[in-house]
Chains A and B, each alone.
Chain A
Amino acid sequence: MSKVQVSFEWLSGCSGCEMSIVDLHERLLDVLDAIEIVRLPILMDTKEYPKAQLGIVSGALRSEHDVHAAHEMRKSCDKILAFGVCAVYGGPQGAAYAHKPKELEEAVYQKNLTTRTNFIPNDGVPAMLPEGVRPLDSEIDVDLYLPGCPPHAYYVAQALKAILEGTVPEFGSHNVCFRCRRTMQPSEVVALRRSHDGPVAGDTCFLSQGILCMGSVTLDRCLAPCPQHGTACTGCAGPSENIIQEPHIDIRTEIANRMSRMTRIKREVIIQEMERRSKTYYAYAMASPVFRQKPTFLLRRWIEQGGA
């Protein structure tokens, strides 16, 4: 069997996605046997864009360079896989959506606690996109998606296997709750609480305990490590399929519905809290059109009004 040629490109991200491929551990050598890597910037000295059957792109579009690289990948690869939450949903730097590019630069270079210079680098550095951050499919056609921050090696292996067999990898039909062993149960909790407000019960759903957990609206691309290790899901893999497919369903309304039925906390209170703290609860997918296309999603206004 001839090897599948794979080309990698890495846009604005953190290298965690690349690491998740190395985290195939023992299976990595089998994968390397089945594919021919023609381009991998972090490990190989090839700098052009050779032809490949599969292009794996991680990271979001942040600069003009990223846009150029995305098109080069599209031209040189038969199929493009958007790999990781940044490529699929914009990722944490999607928070740039909440600010003007100028504000971001000012915070780092001009209004910074320990920086004494007072200018923004402008000599030969690539310009940032005026709209902040965009996911990959806002610029080029994407054939396959593998969200996750990063996707767990279990899902990386599953996706690569599907692609090598010529089928489409699963996008993620389950949410994080699917693998969580905590029990949802009615409670008399009357107010929202944060994770540091007293001990957290180890076997009860966070929502039952009044703690906002994103598990029910987040794709399982991780095998649900957070709730299994005593911490609430922060939504890093991006919104689940029902959120994407239904224009009237948003993560705040979905969580508020669930939580208000299980506790004595009012639905409106939960929605209001998530809007006030939208930078926290939409941290990984703020730049995604999935949200912007929802008529009631007013993130910029919430941030302005709530201070966050």
Chain B
Amino acid sequence: MGRTIVVNPVTRIEGHAKIDVEIDDADQVVAARLHVLEFRGFEKFVEGMQVELMPTLTTRICGTCPHAHHLVAAKCVDAVFGAAPPLAALLQRQLLNAGSIIHSHAIHFFALAGPDLLLGIGAAPADRNIVSLLRAEPDLAKRALRLRSLGQKIAEVVGGRGTHPITAIAGGMAAPIDQDKLGQLRTMATEALDLARIALDAGKSVLSSRSELIELLPLSSYDLGTVNNDVWDLYDGNLRLCAPDGKTAAEVTSTQYRDVMVEEANAFSYSKRVLFKLGGTEVDYRVGPLARLNACGKLPTPAAQAELEEFRTRFGHPTHQVVLNHYARLIELLACAELAVKLCNDPELTSTSIQTQPTHGPKSAIAHVEAPRGVLIHDYEVDDQGLIHKANFLVATQHNISSIDKTLRLAAERFWKKPEAEFVNGVEFAIRCYDPCLSCSTHQVGQMPMIVNVTRNGQVIRQVKR
């Protein structure tokens, strides 16, 4: 008799989900699936809206990474009106993005994954949270919260708001960085760099002492990340697909995404998965911190590059240990903090030449950026009035859905016979390596209830619910 385990809801990931684990008569796990239970329908909502509303409206797809939606929508409207932003605007956008990634990576590592890593997967559910972490590791937890605050405040100074920024517009940015703002930004970026260093060292020491944890979830996979002349880039560049052996399998621009990516729905989930067409075959792949480090030649800043070299020496290149996403996230945190300092020292940042006027009437456009969790694509077909005729969004978690399912299977094999709390958190731990944002993946958000069903031949034989 085959059986299915369902975990519902998954807390500490943004959005709603349920997990199914299917086992065979010999108690072997044959499949595991993440079900996303929320649906909003942004693609339809935006039809008929004025395209210039997109940079602010689409931030509402996700409150954790609104900056990524803001920037990719701004890149689209630049192209819609043929208005390439001046250098100062590009520097501002990159700084906004760096702040955003600092905020998102810091909150993920310490508030979402931190309790697993620092308190242990076996810790009681009621204690496995940021409040307990503040009690157990007060100095580190407070510094982490401070680091997140700094990232969000940098995003707020540049973006006009922390959550749901507003300043990126067609052709550039709407407000210059004056000397007062620059002073604030410099101070914050410098402090963020110190704290990112501390965070990375702390994370490394936790992971180094627990090699069994690092090797818990090995998953050989393709990786997709953005590179600009072989250098890791979060704002602009080509999409590079890296094969499991580390060779570049494909490299395309954002506008080619329709040729290489195909989405498929699943009856049991509101989130679609994405496949990459490679020659005659189709492959699934991973996106996000680990995928980006695997796909790039190098990082743009010296300290982060040194860390990447150490990472590659220790774990190989590419590495397929899913848990190393947490480590990769901290290296990116350091890279973004270094980048923020560098951008603040660029004299062009305070230029008041921040917007290019449109050069043509509205045309359809496609763009992508790297959101904290991976590749984010917006695609707008617009009419001659500049109204959205059709829109398409491919978000990070969607690209990761196949890999998440495979990783869930690994975790289920390991944990499904364990006591209830350890089992549920074991599978949640697997999901959280991807830091999935289910808000984004269904273009909607909600709480994260969790049920794990274990089924055998369609019969539920174990159900764990929290």
Q: Which A positions have Cβ atoms within 8 angstroms of B?
A: 9-20, 22-23, 25-26, 28-29, 32, 37, 40-48, 59, 62-63, 65-66, 69, 91-93, 95-96, 98-99, 103-109, 112-117, 119-126, 128, 149-150, 152-153, 194-200, 222, 225-226, 228-231, 234, 236, 277, 279-280, 283, 303, 306-308
Contact = CB atoms under 8 A, between A and B. Distances in A.
Contacts of A103: 44
A230 B174 contact: yes
B379 to A, nearest CB: 6
A115 B264 contact: yes
Nearest to B173: A230
Do most interface residues of chain A lie in helix, strand or loop, or is the interface mixed?
Answer: loop
B301 interface: no
12 contacts: A13-B63, A41-B447, A44-B126, A59-B446, A95-B46, A108-B44, A112-B392, A149-B164, A196-B83, A196-B170, A280-B49, A308-B387
B83 to A, nearest CB: 8
A62 B14 contact: no
Centre residue among A41, A149, A236, A308 by max chain B CB count within 10 A: A41
A307 B56 contact: no
Interface residues of B, number: 100
Contact of B60 (A19, A149, A306): A149
A103 B43 CA distance: 10
Nearest to A286: B45
Contact of B44 (A32, A41, A69, A107): A107
Contacts of A303: 48
A117 B66 contact: no
B286 interface: no
A85 to B, nearest CB: 9
Interface stretch (B128-136, B220-228, B401-409): B128-136
B174 A231 contact: yes
A308 B129 contact: no
B63 A228 contact: no
A17 B63 contact: yes
A106 B134 CA distance: 46
A22 B107 contact: yes
Contacts of A10: 445-447
Given A45-B126, A105-B39, A225-B161, A32 B171 contact: no
* 7 A-B pairs closest in CB distance: A16-B63, A308-B48, A104-B41, A230-B174, A47-B466, A95-B45, A45-B125
A17 to B, nearest CB: 7
Given A95-B46, A152-B161, A279-B49, 12 more contacts: A9-B447, A12-B446, A28-B145, A45-B125, A59-B445, A92-B42, A109-B272, A125-B37, A128-B39, A194-B52, A195-B169, A196-B171
A29 B49 CA distance: 41
B281 interface: no
A225 B160 contact: yes
A92 to B, nearest CB: 5
Nearest to B16: A65
A307 B49 CA distance: 9
B129 A45 contact: yes
Contact of B37 (A15, A65, A149): A65
Contacts of A44: 11-12, 126, 129, 131
B118 interface: no
B45 A96 contact: yes
Interface of B: 9, 11-12, 14, 16, 18, 35, 37-50, 52-53, 56-57, 59-64, 66, 77, 81, 83, 107, 111-112, 125-126, 128-131, 134, 142, 145, 148-149, 152-153, 160-164, 166-167, 169-171, 174-175, 257-258, 261-270, 272, 274, 355, 357-358, 379, 381, 386-387, 390, 392, 394, 425, 437, 439, 443-450, 465-466
Contacts of B62: 14-16
Contact of B466 (A45, A115, A153, A226): A45
Contacts of A117: 263-265, 272
Given A17-B63, A47-B450, A93 B52 contact: no
Contact of A229 (B45, B142, B153, B166): B166
B39 A46 contact: no
Contacts of B274: 114
A195 B63 contact: no
A277 B148 CA distance: 38
A12 B48 contact: no
A261 B271 CA distance: 49
Contacts of A40: 129
Given A63-B38, A229-B175, A42 B11 contact: yes
A99 B439 CA distance: 21
A58 to B, nearest CB: 9
A198 B81 CA distance: 12
Contacts of B45: 92-93, 95-96, 98-99, 104, 279
A303 B46 CA distance: 12
B138 to A, nearest CB: 10
B44 A99 contact: yes
Centre residue among A40, A99, A229 by max chain B CB count within 10 A: A229
A108 B41 contact: yes
A31 to B, nearest CB: 12
B264 to A, nearest CB: 5
A198 to B, nearest CB: 7
A32 B265 CA distance: 41
A279 B111 contact: no
Nearest to B133: A43
B258 A114 contact: yes
Nearest to A17: B63
